[in-house]
Structure 1
Amino acid sequence: MFRPVSLFIGLRYTRAKRRNHFISFISLTSILGLTLGVMVLIVVLSVMNGFDRELQHRILGMVPQGSIVGYQPFSDWEKVIADAETEKHVEGAAPFIQLQGLLSHKGTVDSAFITGVHPDYEDRVSIISKYMTSGSLQDLQSGSFNIVLGSALAGKLGLAVGDKVTLVLPEATVSPAGVIPRFKRFTVSGLFKVGAELDGIVGFIHLEDAARLARIKGKVEGVRIKVDNLFIAGQVAWQIAGKLDGQFYASDWTRTHGTLFQAIKMEKTMMALLLTLIVAVAAFNIVSSLVMVVTDKKADIAILRTLGASPRTIMTVFMVQGSFIGVMGTLMGTLLGVFIALNISDFALWVEEVSNTQLFEQYFVNYLPSELRWGNVMFVSGMGFIMSFLATLYPARRAAKVQPAEALRYE
């Protein structure tokens, strides 16, 4: 079968030679280095994507993605919800009242953010029902003064379902006995655990109970919305607020948790940049291996030149050899990286079962998440191909400049 001379010779040089096995060994290590670099980069990016997904799901599934808040408490919140849910990109809406105070139980006191919610609406915007470890959000009935707490917060206060806890608000009440803080006794009716910091600071009570405590009976502070795209939550909230009658303003998750996700994004970028250096080192190995091949094959190059091969043909020979190393290394790394990224969660679970240990118990996610994004795979693979190709240019140009007379002088 006919094959171009440069392709035939370039592929032939990649195989082991009887005279010099060391050069072939260097080529093999270059392939393995590139394979490891591409594989590790794909796996690490997939794991970081998994943690990013869990953060978005667990934290932003609990806190308001977007909020429409009145400058004054308002009573027609059903109409606001109806208007909000007709807006494009809005998946659900629910009323809320936000309180901040201290929870006290048997001499133990801790601060908490208490949110008044309506159980019939909360599932439209929150994931809390999926992470209830005991009790139910439906146990929050108007006038019952029940409270649902995060498991970490309940643990710090020594609370269990059925226990009584006192909520102390920062507002003072004047009484015949003097100025005393406002407080109310609640019954713990449920516990939740989402595996994030919210478990230690958040609690939920019924919307009407919160209104009584805030002295805005029959009214709410605002309406929170859930959108299909987190990054337009603020824009959608402001659009809704602008269409409502009355004075409203909008807020979104970037004001409360934006710095956290910016930090994760920066960490992922820096990790990808550092791991890219592994690929760069592997590409540099291609340069060194090809330079050694050129030095070893000077006599062969000279003979090819005397037989009529042009400098371009010689250059192509070594570009083929280097590109073969790059293609093999990148392809093997991509396949291994995709395979590991798709199975690393199950593998970590298997390791935990075999070793009888909980590797991720102390983290907010109790397993190793992974989310393979094909855009990342294409980027890493393309980068591997390009860097390995660029690494062939200098050795190939050097081979093309070999002078036949000087190379054969001592042969």
Structure 2
Amino acid sequence: MFRPLPFFIGLRYTRAKRRNHFISFISLISMLGLTLGVMVMILVLSVMNGFDRELRTRILGMVPHATINGYQPIDDWRSLAEQLESNPKVVGTAPFIQLQGMLTHNGSVAPVLVNGIDPQAEKRVSILQNHMQSGSLDNLAEGEFGIVIGELIAKRFDVAPGDKLTFVLPEASVTPAGVFPRLKRFTVAGVFKVGAELDGSLAMIHVADAARLSRWQPGQVQGVRLQLQNLFEAPQVAWDLVRELPGDYYAQDWTRTHGNLFAAIKMEKTMIGLLLMLIVAVAAFNIISTLVMVVTDKKADIAILRTLGATPGSIMGIFMVQGSLIGIVGTVSGCILGVLAALNVSDMVAWLERVLGIQFLSSDVYFISYLPSELIWSDVVVICTTALSLSFLATLYPAWRASRTEPAEALRYD
């Protein structure tokens, strides 16, 4: 079988046992460093992609993509919703009323944001119904003052569906007996879990009950929530809708409430990617030191090949093949290990948490309570291509040095 001379000799040099074991050790370190760098980069970027995905699906699946609010309570929200849904970029609408206050139970207190919702309409704009641990949104009936709470709130108060909670509004009532805060007893109608900070800060009640607590007329709401086809278009779509609507309205979108999380994750992914690429670069350029020592060790062999008729280009090709092979093996190994780690890191971390009895990510601190991972193959291709390119570039200078070796000079003392 015909094989080009540089390729044939380069493979022989790579497989052969060297007299200088230190050179073999440096070659192994270069290969392992490249493997580790590629693996860690794929793993870390997959975890960052997982956080980005969870932000879009869980957090932004619970909070509105955008809202159209009235400066005064909106009387006929259904006609407003029909106008909004006529826009092709709007997928669904639902009315809402927001109340801030505290929930109390047996002496325990927790701050909470209470959303007054229409149970049927809410299913079109929220993933809440898909994450109910117990009970259902349909249990929220007008006039029954039921409440759906997050899992962290349920654990803090040790309550379950059917138990009572007291909602304290930040408003005082003046009575003959004195000034008292406004209180209302609610019955727990369900518990949800989305695995995020919202489990400890969000609760849902019927929109009609929220209107009564706000002392509004029946049927009045604060605004309309929007579910959009593309959440990244939310600021522009919401602004366009407000301009087209008759009446006095203003718009809000998720970039004002949770945009900082998304921006932070995007920036961290970029910076971590650059830092990890430096690790890959250091590992790739270790090939330079390896090949420089190999060239020094093989000067006599190079001189013999030159006297036998090998051209400088052939000599250069030999060492480029040798260095590139180190880069290929290290990159492929790192790619395989990185892909396997990215696909299983969530399960591995969950297993460690069970074995050690600790939780690495707590919903009290982080916006999700587990380590997500999403492998994007385009990232893998970019990482591997960059690592191979750096490895190839690292072979050029030592190979050029080898091609410049003069036979007479190299064999003078041999």
TM-score normalised according to structure 2 size: 0.90
Would the aligned equivalents of 1:14 and 1:24 in 2 still touch at CA under 8 Å? Answer: no
Matched position secondary structure for 2:62: coil
Q: Amino acid of the residue matched to residue 316 of structure 1?
A: G
Structure 2 unpaired stretches of 5+: none
1:140 matched residue in structure 2: 140
Q: Distance in 1 between matches of 2:18 and 2:134?
A: 72
2:108 matched residue in structure 1: 108
2:284 matched residue in structure 1: 283
Q: Amino acid of the residue matched to residue 160 of structure 1?
A: A
Q: CA deviation at 1:284?
A: 2.3
Distance change >3 Å, CA 13–CA 210, structure 1 → 2 = same
Q: CA deviation at 1:158?
A: 4.6
1:400 matched residue in structure 2: 403
Q: Distance in 2 between matches of 1:409 and 1:191?
A: 86
2:90 matched residue in structure 1: 90
2:389 matched residue in structure 1: 386
2:256 matched residue in structure 1: 255
Distance change >3 Å, CA 185–CA 349, structure 1 → 2 = closer
Would the aligned equivalents of 1:14 and 1:27 in 2 still touch at CA under 8 Å? Answer: no
2:374 matched residue in structure 1: 371
Q: CA deviation at 1:134?
A: 2.0
Would the aligned equivalents of 1:16 and 1:24 in 2 still touch at CA under 8 Å? Answer: no
Could you tell which deviates more after superposition, 56-65 or 356-365?
A: 356-365
Q: CA deviation at 1:359?
A: 5.2
Q: Distance in 1 between matches of 2:233 and 2:136?
A: 31
Q: CA deviation at 1:187?
A: 1.8
How far does the alpha carbon of each residue in 1:287-342 deviate from its partner, in whole angstroms, 9 at most, with x for none?
11101110011112222333443333322221221112112221222123223322
How far does the alpha carbon of each residue in 1:174-196 deviate from its partner, in whole angstroms, 9 at most, with x for none?
44445543332222222222222
Q: CA deviation at 1:96?
A: 0.5
How far does the alpha carbon of each residue in 1:81-118 deviate from its partner, in whole angstroms, 9 at most, with x for none?
22333323333221101111222333333321111000
Matched position secondary structure for 1:95: strand
Q: Amino acid of the residue matched to residue 408 of structure 2?
A: A
2:235 matched residue in structure 1: 234
Could you tell which deviates more after superposition, 255-264 or 85-94?
A: 85-94
Could you tell which deviates more after superposition, 256-265 or 119-128?
A: 256-265
Q: CA deviation at 1:270?
A: 3.1
TM-score normalised according to structure 1 size: 0.91
Distance change >3 Å, CA 184–CA 261, structure 1 → 2 = same
Could you tell which deviates more after superposition, 382-391 or 186-195?
A: 186-195
2:19 matched residue in structure 1: 19
2:73 matched residue in structure 1: 73
Distance change >3 Å, CA 408–CA 202, structure 1 → 2 = same
Q: CA deviation at 1:25?
A: 4.0
Q: Distance in 2 between matches of 1:68 and 1:408?
A: 85
Q: Distance in 2 between matches of 1:104 and 1:330?
A: 57
Q: Distance in 2 between matches of 1:59 and 1:344?
A: 22
Q: Distance in 1 between matches of 2:129 and 2:392?
A: 53
Q: CA deviation at 1:240?
A: 2.1
Q: Distance in 2 between matches of 1:167 and 1:342?
A: 43
Distance change >3 Å, CA 346–CA 200, structure 1 → 2 = closer
Q: CA deviation at 1:171?
A: 2.9
Q: Distance in 2 between matches of 1:50 and 1:108?
A: 35
Taking the TM superposition and a 5 Å limit, the aligned residue runs for 1:214-225 are 214-217=214-217, 218-225=219-226
Q: Distance in 2 between matches of 1:153 and 1:366?
A: 15
Instruction: Verify: 1:208 aligned to 2:208, yes or no.
Output: yes
Matched position secondary structure for 2:232: helix
Aligned residues: 410
Distance change >3 Å, CA 182–CA 349, structure 1 → 2 = closer
Would the aligned equivalents of 2:196 and 2:369 in 1 still touch at CA under 8 Å? Answer: no
Distance change >3 Å, CA 351–CA 171, structure 1 → 2 = closer
How far does the alpha carbon of each residue in 1:370-393 deviate from its partner, in whole angstroms, 9 at most, with x for none?
211011101111110111111112
